[in-house]
Amino acid sequence: MIKPFEKVIELGDGRTITIETGKLAKQADGSVVVKMGNTYLLATVVSAKEAKPDVDFMPLTVEYKEKYAAVGRFPGGFQKREARPSDYEILVSRLIDRALRPLFPDDYHADTFVTVNLISADDEILPDQLAGLAASACLAVSDIPFNGPISEVRVARVGGELLVNPTATQLKEADMDIIVAATLENIMMVEGEMSEVSEAELLEAMKVAHDAIKVQCQAQIEMMEALGKTEKREYCHEENDEELEKKVWEATYDKAYAVAKSANPNKHERIDAFGAIVDEFIAENYPEDSEEEAPVGLIKKYYHDVEKEAVRKVVLDEKFRLDGRKTNEIRPIWSEVDYLPGPHGSAVFTRGETQSLTTVTLGTKLDEKLIDDVMNKSYERFLLHYNFPPFSTGDARPARGISRREIGHGNLAFRALKRMLPENYAYTVRIVSDILESNGSSSMATVCAGTLALMDAGVPVKKPVSGIAMGLITDKESGKFAVLSDILGDEDHLGDMDFKVTGTRDGITATQMDIKVDGLSYEVLEQALNQAKAGRMHILDKLEETITEPREDYKPHAPRIVNFDIPKDMIGSVIGPGGKIIQEIQATTETVITIEEEGNIGKVAISASNKASIDAAVAKVKAIVAVPEVGEVYRGKVKSIVPFGAFVEILPGKDGLLHISEIEWRRLEKVEDALKEGEEVEVKLIEVDQRTGKLKLSRKVLLPKPERKEKPKKD
């Protein structure tokens, strides 16, 4: 039997994480199994020995996959095998990717594939908080160049206490849930949701996370040293021409600086102006009649660095940005609600050159989403979908399915808004954000437009939520830095940080941060958070100029829902054999009825497009569950006639005997002399047999009693 190498990490509370290598998947460049309890993650990495021609970026692919066998389950569907990745798997893949990608050397361009498989699962130990550690550890035991290691942990606040990698049960009670990725020295990524926490509380949680990550990074370093994996492979993925690079810088830097300083708010005009500089350089130095072919790829690579440096210097030295704004200035905002007549709520939110058209659809329990993931089988009644079509950035290309980016941005907006929906809300809610224009932070535009559309739909949100994306420009040599509010797309691409923060007036509800530079201090993060708060308040003011609170009522065409409880033992009576009774009620009243069992109660929800239909359905259901009371008068239908009386249905499914002697005051020879089948009559419940539960009815007690005729007196 193979004896693997193991490294044990103490979490400080009696729990441990074990990293095992040398046993599984040995043909990969790096392979580890990370174990915590019964949760096992197999992480592998393979990187090509050579880069493909003309590749000038890091072609990294990260896949997180969950095996249904890990929890002893069969996959759903006809094929009964794992298929396309779930949203959860995509989101975990993105968490890993965003932490790893900035740490590969800038000149490393070989195809690299990191795969993390959940091969055994524990209901209480969440795999997403171990996935980043597993991915980094497999890189650590490989010879692939990587400026790590990193690790990721979850920090949750439960009952005021910050817990590292809490259990699934503990997480359900948390009012803060963040995942943090970091190296030994620096935080790289933060993502999470919270219930209106302060900036100081978020910073404290990040520090707790980093302290735990340092221990895990040190363990990986010790493992690398023990295995002799500190030396990494040699590579050469770039061809450089120092003379050409110098020539490009000298000829184009001043021109690029001038364009960066021109304060043009139009994105496409700026792009064209920057592009004209490099085109002019190529035309001047490599004319069409020249025998020398222009090395266009190298020239554009060097010019990209020129443009990046020029933009950053203008911000740091001139104190203003590409579009002329100050560092803390928000672009012009306009918004409106009720733009579309068809949806149940709609809004347009535009900030600068970023625009979201967002709709809200209200549905019933039948519209909720079934989640059938490996670790999570449940229902979701709040959905948010984000779409980013190519035309939003002026790109001439087809739209092909939903991208990982769209799933990630939609999830951030979902987390920002979900805690502001009312608890135990009767409706299933779907928000759809279609990005019509994009130049920076369309996910934050989705949060703002989502808030407006919810209020337009009449959803009683607890508080409005706004969001803002922050950026950062730093210069290590001079020590200068600038925190940028409401960043442009170019500032995101050329800057050192993308930090999105959403919240109400009372605190933060969600955040997502990606840091691309080493040595970012907590003081800079604190300034960014405080500047973001000021920006959020400004945007909230703008939202409240459009709509101040949720509408008092839903739109006329929105479904109406009435909720009430019935005894658990009456659920079967309402549904009926094979669903016959509930289907009949729905058909005759044009309603949708759902019943959900909760403890000893049946939760009934009745929806329709008008009040009359709901009232009719409510009456029918309540009649079924009503308990007949002695002394009450009912209008019932004669269901059958027998020689000794008639059986009358006084409530749905509840018949009573109307004895022939109780039909009228006069003596009847036959029941048919007074009643016929199908006839409706008023009867009074006069007795319930305590032993059999049979109902005894009387009709005659509701009729005037005839006066007795006095016999004539005898003379």
Residues within the annotated binding site for Mg(2+)?
Answer: 492, 498
- Proportion of the chain in helix, strand, coil states, percent, rounded to 5: 35, 30, 35
Query: What is the residue type of 308?
Result: K
The strand order across the sheet containing 507-515 reads 161-164, 151-158, 176-182, 187-197, 507-515, 497-504, 466-475, 480-485
Instruction: Please give the sequence-ordered ranges of beta strands (E in DSSP) within 342-459, or none if there are none.
Output: 345-351, 354-363, 369-372, 377-380, 382-387, 428-437
Token digits of residue 451? 């808030």
Query: What is the residue type of 516?
Result: K
* Residues 465 and 420: beta-carbon distance below 8 Å: yes
Neighbours of 147 (CB within 10 A): 13
Candidates 453, 451, 445, 450; CA nearest to 463 is 451
φ, ψ for residue 644, nearest 5 deg: -100, 5
**Residue ranges at the known binding site:** 492, 498
* Residues 107 and 237: beta-carbon distance below 8 Å: yes
Q: Which residues have CB under 8 Å from 111's CB, separation 6+?
A: 47, 48, 51, 52, 59, 61
Q: Which residues have CB under 8 Å from 688's CB, separation 6+?
A: 628, 630, 694, 695, 696
* Dist. CA 210–CA 13, nearest whole Å: 17
* Dist. CA 198–CA 506, nearest whole Å: 8
* Dist. CA 166–CA 177, nearest whole Å: 10
What would the DSSP string read from start to end of 256-322?
HHHHHHS----HHHHHHHHHHHHHHHHHHHS-TT-SSPP-HHHHHHHHHHHHHHHHHHIIIIIS--T
The gap from C-alpha 700 to its chain's centroid, in whole angstroms, comes to 65
What would the DSSP string read from start to end of 100-121?
HGGGS-TT--S-EEEEEEEEE-
Neighbours of 568 (CB within 10 A): 13
